[in-house]
């Protein structure tokens, strides 16, 4: 009985992961709260239609809404992992000796962790850019013919996603979706960050060709070369945000060492073979 309990404790999470996840406790509560916030944001768009509702690209012209959409998908997988998790699960995608997840909950958990690599940094960048530009001039991010959203809705759009995604990444996730961490992680995340930034530029140019206006007034003020600079800086900022999250993770939870992982794997094997009493 004691060995079985120890195996469950060892198997459910990465050795560095601060809190139990997936689980029906704090992890499930955080994902549920996050999804409620995201739902309220989409409901606000539905209840308060504006020029974007009938335009090409809908509200997905806005980086804010793209970010919330990715975050919603991320937290849906997280909550599904929580709901389908079992306290007696013996493996997890990051700790199992096999390279693939072993249970349905593991598949959902792995999907959440991979999506978080994009969702968490992009939400941090959205918060930095939005609140930073608003301090300079609200007209840079809010079209002049649109009213400012209520403060509560503004927080749900531009702050809450960054907060809940950061909590999830630091306390409820392994240091990397696969274990050990990919040694090319910095280059991979740099490529993804720059790719996301320029893919968004490509997308809003398509929308502009149909609508005749950009979703954010700041784009109207910039030349093509200045937009290249803006999106390059935005992609670099997203990369830095991802690196800062990994650094904060290491500060809070410690560094992933091969020796520690091997020790954990050996302990798990001993428990499963009934050698740990």
Task: Write the pLDDT tens digit of every residue in 164-189.
Answer: 999 999 999 998 887 666 777 788 88
pLDDT digits (tens, 9 = 90+) for 84-119: 988 654 445 555 444 444 799 999 999 999 999 999
Q: What is the pLDDT of residue 275?
A: 52
Task: Give the DSSP per-residue string, the chain.
Answer: -HHHHHHHHHHSS-TT-SS--S-TTHHHHHHHHHHHHHHHHHHHHHHS--TTTTSTTGGGGSHHHHHHHHHHHHHHHHHHHHHH--TT----TTT-SSSS--SHHHHHHHHHHHHHHHHHHHHHHHHHHHHHHHHH-GGGTS-TTSPPPPHHHHHHHHTHHHHHHHHHHHHSS-SSSSSSPPTTHHHHHHHHHHHHHHHHHHHHHHHHHHHSS-SSHHHHHS-HHHHHHHHHHHHHHHHHHHHHHHHHHHHHH----HHHHHHHHHHHHHHHTT---
Q: What is the pLDDT of residue 61?
A: 96
Q: What is the pLDDT of residue 277?
A: 46
pLDDT digits (tens, 9 = 90+) for 183-226: 777 888 889 999 999 999 999 999 999 999 999 999 999 998 99
Q: Which of 59, 42, 51, 61 shows the shortest CA–CA distance to 200?
A: 61
Top pLDDT among 260 and 198 is at 198
Residues 6+ apart with CB under 8 A from 4: 88
Stretch among 93-97, 255-259, 264-268 having the lowest mean pLDDT? 93-97
pLDDT digits (tens, 9 = 90+) for 137-157: 999 999 888 899 999 999 999
∠ CA 209-56-221, nearest 5°, is 50
For the full predicted model, state whether its pTM sits above 0.95.
no
6, pLDDT greater than 50? no
pLDDT digits (tens, 9 = 90+) for 13-59: 778 898 999 999 999 999 999 999 999 999 999 999 999 999 999 99
* 189-225 CB burial, b ≥16 within 10 A, e <16: bbebbbebbeebbebbeebbeebeebbbbbbeeeeee
231, pLDDT greater than 60? yes
Q: Which of 106, 108, 100 shows the shortest CA–CA distance to 78?
A: 108
Cα separation, 78 vs 5, whole angstroms = 24
Cα separation, 197 vs 237, whole angstroms = 10
């Amino acid at each position: 009985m004691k060995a079985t309990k120890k195996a469950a404790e060892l198997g459910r999470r990465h050795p560095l992961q601060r809190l139990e996840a997936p689980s029906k406790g704090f992890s499930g509560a955080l994902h549920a709260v996050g999804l409620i916030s995201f739902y309220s944001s989409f409901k606000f768009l539905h209840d308060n239609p504006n020029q974007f509702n009938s335009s090409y690209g809908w509200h997905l012209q806005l980086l804010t809404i793209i970010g919330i959409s990715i975050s919603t998908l991320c937290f849906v997988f997280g909550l599904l992992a929580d709901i389908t998790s079992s306290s007696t699960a013996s493996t997890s995608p990051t700790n199992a000796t096999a390279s693939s997840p072993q249970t349905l909950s593991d598949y959902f958990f792995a999907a959440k962790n991979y999506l978080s690599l994009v969702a968490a940094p992009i939400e941090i960048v959205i918060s930095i850019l939005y609140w930073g530009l608003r301090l300079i001039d609200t007209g840079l991010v809010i079209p002049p013919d649109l009213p400012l959203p209520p403060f509560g809705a503004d927080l749900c759009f531009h702050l809450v996603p960054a907060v809940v995604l950061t909590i999830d990444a630091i306390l409820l996730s392994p240091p990397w979706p696969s274990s050990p961490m990919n040694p090319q992680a910095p280059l991979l995340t740099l490529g993804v960050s720059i790719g996301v930034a320029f893919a968004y530029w490509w997308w809003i140019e398509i929308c502009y060709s149909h609508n005749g206006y950009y979703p954010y007034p700041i784009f109207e003020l910039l030349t093509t070369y200045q937009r290249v600079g803006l999106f390059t800086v935005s992609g670099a900022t997203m990369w830095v945000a991802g690196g800062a999250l990994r650094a904060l993770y290491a500060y809070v939870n410690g560094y992933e060492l091969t020796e520690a992982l091997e020790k954990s794997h050996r302990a798990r094997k001993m428990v499963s073979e009934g050698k740990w009493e």
